[in-house]
């Protein structure tokens, strides 16, 4: 399953597939793209295998607090393009993965680096709290495309 991401620089739509190396760049202007993808049972493990830290957003469409967190995660991915990946997983469609991660409440953000869970944040935290939580675990302040 490929995700479509619009380049913030030139507006070109880009198809992103799971990649363990590098960061996504626009096919036209080569700008670093915000890395936000939706995963399913077939792509989830591949999406976690990335060159940058991954925030897994466990959510459901009926969850109001989940819908409040989504724009904050999208802004963080945009602001930290090349240094962060956001993987969204609908727990209603993928209960086996939710069970594997012992999801008991949503929204749940799980920070993963190199296949290892670093931390989790439960509930609809404001963007500044999510950013502070992320900053405690990874260096997202470096230049675009720099390793975190």
Catalytic site positions: 63, 66
Are 97 and 60 contacting, i.e. CB atoms less than 8 angstroms apart? no
Q: CA torsion sign, 132 to 134 to 135 to 137?
A: positive
Residue 12 burial (CB < 10 Å; 0-12/13-18/19+)?
Answer: middle
Using only C-alpha atoms, the chain has a radius of gyration, in whole angstroms, of 14
CA atoms within 13 A on the CB side of 108: 18
* CA 83/CA 62 separation, integer angstroms: 30
* CA 1/CA 49 separation, integer angstroms: 15
């Amino acid at each position: 399953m490929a995700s479509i991401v619009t380049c913030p620089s030139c507006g070109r739509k880009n198809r992103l597939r799971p990649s363990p190396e590098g960061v996504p760049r626009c096919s036209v202007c080569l700008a670093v793209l915000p890395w936000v993808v939706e995963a399913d049972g077939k792509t989830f493990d591949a999406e976690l295998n990335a060159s940058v830290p991954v925030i897994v957003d466990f959510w459901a469409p009926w969850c109001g607090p989940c819908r409040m967190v989504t724009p904050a995660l999208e802004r963080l991915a945009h602001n930290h393009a090349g240094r962060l990946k956001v993987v969204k997983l609908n727990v209603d469609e993928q209960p086996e993965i939710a069970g594997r991660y012992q999801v008991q409440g949503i929204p749940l953000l799980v920070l993963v680096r190199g296949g290892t869970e670093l931390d989790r944040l439960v509930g609809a935290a404001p963007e500044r709290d999510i950013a502070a939580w992320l900053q405690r675990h990874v260096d997202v302040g470096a230049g675009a495309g720099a390793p975190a």
